[in-house]
């Protein structure tokens, strides 16, 4: 799969597959293309070439209606929760059921309470998103993502912006969720510890290319310098190209 922003190529021949019931973690520093990759996986952007197959359907070629149908078996938890600010937490979690199913209000109520309970958010239904903390927002977003019992769950940066304890709790929650609902998960993160803890397999993106892919052990033992740098939190080696540097310096002066 290839992706471009304008004429700048951000993803180069990214190619991977996720097995059913597996937790795949996509890792990489900022600017490595992992957010772009996620947007493509979610069908929010279309690849400039190549194909993305989700649940045996190529989403690069799906029409609007088919995409809508496919999305009912996908769950997405966004970085900041992305709850609608105009409605309460409970209404947010119930929203997919209300809009996409014909269930009666009582059933919806029970299902929402079940999922909120699972996320340790029981009793917070009537609060507005603005009244929740960052970790609670993420959990509420997760509750909303799994309310339709999706076959595949995407999670963007589960531990970003959280304190270490909350972050560990959230990792536990993800593992519990997989055990309880047996979903396939694709998790995008830059946090090493959390990635090593929850992943079955890890894909490391580097400058829009897949630098490595494998189990946690394989990644840890990788001989690739870039990956070792990432693991040991070393700054990236700066290769200074003299010509390019000169050009940058003189670019403003013509």
Partner 1 sequence: MEGLINLPASLGRYSIDIVSSIGRAAVFLGLTLSRLFHWPFPLAEFIKQLNFVGVRTLPVLLVAGLFTGMVVALQFYDTLVRFGSVDLLGSAVALSLIRELGPVMAALMVIARVGSASCAEIGIMRNEQQFDALECMAIDVYRYLMLPRLLAAIVALPMLTAIFDLVGIGGGYVVGVLIHGESAGAYINGLIDTVTINDVLMGVIKSLVFGLIIMWIALVNGFNVHLNQSLSGAEGVSHATTTAVVLSAIVMLSFDFIIGSLML
Q: Which residues bind partner 1 (CB under 8 A)?
A: 39, 42, 44, 68-69, 71-72, 74-76, 78-80, 82-86, 95-96, 99-100, 141, 144, 154
Kindly tell me which of 131 and 193 has the beta carbon lying closer to partner 1: 131
| Neighbouring residues of 95: CB distance < 8 A, sequence distance ≥ 6 | 84, 87, 144
Buried b (16+ CB within 10 A) or exposed e, 73-105: ebbbbbbebbbeeeebbbbbbbbbbeeeeeeee
Least Å distance between CB 119 and partner 1? Answer: 16
State the minimum distance, in angstroms, from the CB of residue 40 to partner 1.
13
Least distance CB 109 / partner 1 (angstroms): 16
- For partner 1, the closer CB: 159 or 222: 159
Beta carbon of residue 71, minimum distance to partner 1 (angstroms, whole number): 4
CB of 133 to partner 1, least distance (A): 15
Residue 84 vs 122, nearer CB to partner 1: 84
* Strand blocks (E) in the chain: 3-5, 8-11, 23-27, 53-54, 57-58, 74-77, 152-156, 184-189, 201-206, 209-215
Taking CA atoms, 90 is separated from 28, 78, 111, in Å, by 34, 17, 11
| CB closer to partner 1 out of 67 and 231 | 67
Q: How far is CA 180 from CA 119, 135, 174, in A?
A: 12, 21, 10
**How near is the Cβ of 105 to partner 1 at its closest, in Å?**
12
Give the angle 20-23-28 at the CA atoms, nearest 5°. Answer: 130
CA distance linking residue 138 with residue 76, whole number of Å: 11
Q: Are 23 and 187 in contact (CB under 8 A)?
A: yes
Q: Do 35 and 214 meet the contact criterion of CB atoms below 8 Å apart?
A: no
Which residue's CB is nearer to partner 1, number 94 or number 226? 94
**Residue 27 CA: distances (Å) to CA of 32, 181, 188, 190, 206:** 9, 24, 6, 5, 9
Closer of 61 and 218 to partner 1 (Cβ): 61
> What's the min distance (Å) between Cβ of 162 and partner 1?
17
> Which is nearer to partner 1, 17 or 86 (by Cβ)?
86
């Amino acid at each position: 799969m290839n992706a471009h922003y304008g004429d700048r190529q951000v993803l180069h021949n990214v190619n991977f597959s996720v097995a059913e019931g597996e937790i795949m973690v996509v890792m990489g520093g900022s600017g490595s293309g992992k957010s772009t990759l996620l947007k493509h996986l979610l069908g929010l952007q279309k690849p400039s070439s190549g194909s993305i197959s989700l649940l045996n359907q190529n989403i690069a070629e799906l029409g609007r209606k088919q995409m809508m149908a496919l999305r009912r078996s996908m769950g997405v938890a966004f970085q900041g929760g992305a709850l609608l600010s105009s409605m309460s937490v409970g209404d947010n979690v119930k929203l997919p059921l209300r809009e996409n199913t014909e269930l009666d209000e009582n059933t919806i109520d029970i299902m929402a309470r079940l999922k909120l309970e699972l996320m340790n958010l029981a009793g917070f239904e009537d609060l507005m998103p603005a009244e929740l903390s960052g970790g609670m927002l993420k959990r509420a977003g997760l509750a909303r993502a799994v309310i339709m019992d999706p076959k595949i769950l995407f999670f963007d940066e589960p531990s970003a912006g959280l304190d270490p304890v909350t972050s560990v709790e959230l990792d536990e929650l993800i593992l519990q969720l997989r055990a309880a609902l047996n979903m396939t998960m694709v998790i995008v993160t830059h946090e090493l510890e959390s990635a090593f803890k929850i992943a079955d397999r890890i894909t490391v993106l580097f400058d829009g290319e897949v630098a490595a892919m494998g189990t946690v052990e394989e990644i840890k033992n990788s001989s690739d310098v870039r990956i070792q740098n990432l693991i040991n939190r070393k700054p990236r080696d700066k290769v200074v190209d003299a010509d390019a540097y000169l050009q940058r310096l003189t670019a403003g002066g013509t």
